[in-house]
Chains A and B, each alone.
Chain A
Amino acid sequence: MSPDDVFKYILGFISGIVVLTLFLMVLELFRYSLPVLSLKFIFGINWNPVVGSEEYGILPYILGTLVTSAIAIFVGVPISLGIAIYLSEMAPNFIRTILSFVIELLAAVPSVIYGLWGLFIFRFWVRDFIEVPLSKHLAFIPIFQGEPFGLDILTAGLILAIMIIPTVSSVSREVLMAVPDSQREAAYSLGATKWEVIRLGVLSYAKSGIVGAAILGLGRAIGETMAVTMVIGNAIGPAALPTSLFKAGQTMASLIANEFNEADPTSLHPNALIGVGLILFVLALTINLLAQLLIWRILKIKEGAVE
């Protein structure tokens, strides 16, 4: 065996470990959660870890995860895209450098800091400037019902929105800046205004990449734990069903973080929490696969493009 071969096998082995780790993780998650896995686990809404009357249903937390992530995407992606468009198409060079740097810094803030800020400051803003007016004027819409409190699904979603902005905006900016100038020129030469150039020459070209950036943000929002746990109110059981944005809720990640150190090893409680982890994992995997499929499909259209 030549030294090159040795090198090759060593590297191959190291790469193999990563795949093996992933595989073992899924296997273990599955093995531990097997005692609780059932349709009732996924579609049940009651959660009772008391030995003797144990019942584990996680539908409220699945929905809580989906709803908070959806808020994050609906609020965070347009803002991020706006930032990306400004940075790549409009900002003078020095502003671009400074602003990009500050936004990257946002990504470096530990999530527990977002949580603290959310808990002590941001939630009052949400309550006073968003929730109170909404509940005053639009309370006939079910999702705006309930007493505004500030530690709820809306606050969690908005914190997530802020947290995904660095990722989504910097990836989108990269994508927009990769659009060849010939596309912008094509639009300009047809008599397009600045905005029309962005729409026709830049955004339409970069569509797939922007979708990819949004999905990356979604991935981050779904798994985010600490900040959400600190502001979502941590409801349990049927109370955690996200029927209103102004209700305390719970996500899968925040449930695990809240309960992992109280779980009685002789009960099924640890198994149930691992089961939540398995579902979260599967959900994240599905979303990523979906994103990839979507991007592949769009990339296919671009095949044979001039650039």
Chain B
Amino acid sequence: MDNELISLGSKAGSQQKYGRTYKIEIENLSAWFGTKQVLKDINMKIRANAITAIIGPSGCGKSTLIRCLNRMHELVPSAKVSGKVFLDGIDIYSKNVDPVVVRRKVGMVFQKPNPFPTMSIYDNVAAGLKLNGIRDRKVLDKLVRRSLEQAWLWDEVKDDLDKPGSSLSGGQQQRLCIARALAVEPEVLLLDEPTSALDPIAASKIEQLIVSLKRDYTIVIVTHNMQQAARVADYTAFLYLGKLIEYDETSRIFSNPKEELTENYIAGRFG
């Protein structure tokens, strides 16, 4: 079962070296909650080492779409998915792929910061590493530090690593969650409205952080904030009522959309 995914890992490495264009390819993806269809036949290719934003009005299926990319959608009872999602050419929905392994390759950060409140800052970041069987304190120390540095949090917490993660401010908690996600060295990072629960200053710091991360990761961000998409994303997808209406370079989506629906949404005429 794992063989394919192990090869998936090594293949990803070599392809990154040669600059693979598309990290994720979505084919005919549909998703349901019970009988309600929330995604309708989505086809979309997501570029490696770029930031792709998914925008659209509330309830259009943005969150469901990214939750289909790491097989989180199916955790909801009554949820259903059909179609294919290729990660480095391998369908993550094929029978011999373990969703647990998919989620280690595709990390996720949520709308509301959700650190483990009874764990220290250190243990929060180390949690995923320990799941991967890393027990050596020196290795853990190194990786925790690296992850916190990547998430621009190290300088703020390096003397308080034993304090509970919940003692941090909202923005710091969110960066802690980013560090926690990065610690397991995913290849893709999914962000589900990561700044919507934060004040503008904390949000802007997270935005800059996200941009700095695209060198090493493929990033997909859901946002209801169009300015945010315009500021950070290389590519933007507009979703409406479960359908992918338009998907293009961000500059083109915002300056010269092909679809009237997109234009109306961006102009703020609905949503």
Seen from chain A, the residues whose Cβ lies within 8 Å of a Cβ on chain B are: 93, 180, 182-193, 196, 200-201, 204-205, 207, 298, 301-307
Contacts and interface: CB of A to CB of B under 8 A. Distances in A.
A200 B177 CA distance: 14
B173 interface: yes
B164 A189 contact: no
Interface stretch (B24-32, B97-105, B248-256): B97-105
Given A182-B110, A183-B114, A200-B131, A191 B119 contact: no
Interface of B: 70, 72, 75, 77, 100-104, 107-110, 112-119, 127-128, 131-132, 164, 166-167, 173, 177, 180-181, 184
24 contacts: A182-B110, A182-B114, A183-B116, A184-B75, A185-B108, A185-B114, A186-B110, A188-B72, A189-B72, A189-B110, A190-B104, A190-B128, A191-B102, A191-B128, A192-B100, A192-B128, A200-B127, A302-B166, A304-B166, A305-B117, A305-B166, A306-B114, A306-B115, A306-B117
Nearest to A182: B114
Contacts of A304: 164, 166-167
Counting from the closest, the 6 A-B pairs by CB-CB distance are A191-B104, A190-B128, A305-B117, A189-B108, A182-B114, A191-B103
Contacts of A186: 110, 114-116, 177, 180
Given A186-B110, A190-B128, A201 B70 contact: no
A305 B167 CA distance: 7
A306 B70 contact: no
Nearest to B120: A301
Nearest to A93: B77
Contacts of A305: 117, 166
A189 B180 CA distance: 10
Nearest to B177: A186
Given A186-B116, A190-B107, A306-B113, 15 more contacts: A185-B72, A185-B108, A188-B72, A189-B107, A190-B103, A191-B100, A191-B101, A191-B103, A191-B128, A192-B100, A196-B131, A204-B116, A204-B118, A298-B118, A306-B117
A220 B258 CA distance: 70
B100 to A, nearest CB: 5
A93 B102 CA distance: 28
Contacts of A298: 118
A93 B113 CA distance: 29
Given A188-B75, A301-B164, A193 B114 contact: no
A180 B116 CA distance: 11
B92 to A, nearest CB: 13
B100 A303 contact: no
